[in-house]
Amino acid sequence: MSICTPNVSHHDQTLLSLEAGKHVLVEKPLSVTLDEGIEMVETAERMGKMLSVGFQPRYDDNIKLVREIVQSGQLGGVYYAELGGGRPRGIPGGTFIRRDIAGSGAIADIGCYSLDMALYALNHPRPLTVSAFSGNRLGTNPAICPEADRFDVEDFGVAFIRFENDMVMTFKTSWAMHLDSMGSTFFLGSEGGLKLGSGRTGAWGGSFDCLGDIRMYRDMMGRQTETVIPLSGQPLDEPFFLKISDFVRAIRDDAPAPVPASEILVQQTIIDALLRSAAQKREVDVEWPSILRR
């Protein structure tokens, strides 16, 4: 069963499908709330069915290479990651800007891509605290957004995230801003750094189709070196095909979920904390589900 309906319906349709004995591929984001995501993962486990989430960037050869480099240890221990991202102008319309249907705005729509890329590369470390801000000053401006009178989600979000392995991360995303870029995405480690550049106007936000280059920085003979890593020539539409075919193949072969919902639940804990922190205007603790403690 493939669920690609508006965000607010992901939870109920996934539960109905799982309880009907179906394996489920649900599009991102997993759910509107953390509690819904937990129930979805628990139901899949109880029914003995696969629950996978549609993050096609994971099937891009370049994103897989980023993970391979980080996991290889060539950067040493990663202590900081900064997720550049967003669009100078790119506010969607329709259901995307309605809180009652989408749940949230830019954070869940495109911010989830950069979060998934980073967490996937870092092997899903446990987040501890989040301090965040969100706003919608451009989305509610009729001169910028034609549907400003219906706009009630965030068009901008930024957060400082602390993890249990003595690592921190800065998260940034936007649908619109008065700037060409909020900077590159990069990882800093004790032995090297990795920087992901944008191939378009504006910062790369974790989505494979905006990646411009990959650069590694390391010391050699007492000097810092910069290595440009060639990008794959993989067709841009291939990850979308692989996302579906891999799900079907996993069902046929009785294999694990290609993008396990339990992994995406880690991301969901961060988004939940981010939205709570922004609303409360203070740092908050991440609520860690018991199903992830097993």
Query: What is the tens place of the pLDDT at every residue in 27-76?
Result: 999 999 999 999 999 999 999 999 999 999 999 999 999 999 999 999 99
d(CA 215, CA 243): 27
pLDDT value, residue 202: 47
Residue 289 has pLDDT above 50, yes or no: yes
Residue 205: per-residue pLDDT:
54
Closest by alpha carbon to 13, among 43, 54, 34, 58? Answer: 43
pLDDT tens across 226-259, in order? 999 999 888 888 999 999 999 999 999 999 999 9
How is 63-120 classified by DSSP, letter by letter?
Answer: HHHHHHHHHHTTT-SEEEEEE----SB----GGGG-HHHHSSSHIIIIIHHHHHHHHH
Apex 286 CA angle, 90 and 174, nearest 5: 10
Of 293, 86, 257, 291, the closest CA to residue 182 belongs to 86
For 196-220, what is the mean pLDDT? 73
Three-state helix/strand/coil letters over 143-209:
CCCCCHHHCCCCCEEEEEEEECCCCEEEEEEECECCCCCCCCEEEEECCCEEEEEECCCCCCCCCHH
Q: What is the pLDDT of residue 170?
A: 97
What is the residue whose two structure tokens read 């993962």? 41
Give burial (CB, 10 Å; 0-12/13-18/19+) of 273.
buried
pTM of the entire predicted model? 0.93
pLDDT at residue 102 is higher than 90: yes
pLDDT class of 203 with cuts at 50, 70, 90 = very low
pLDDT reading at 193 higher than 90:
yes
Q: Which percentage of the chain shows pLDDT scores above 70? A: 96
pLDDT at residue 59, as a whole number: 93
Confidence (pLDDT) at 167:
98
Q: Distance between the two ends of the chain, CA-based, in angstroms?
A: 27
Tokens 């891999």: give the residue.
246
What is the SS3 assignment for 228?
A: strand
**Alpha-carbon distance values, 150 to 35, 147, 241 (Å):** 27, 6, 34
Could you give the CA distance from residue 245 to residue 253 in angstroms, rounded to a whole number? 12
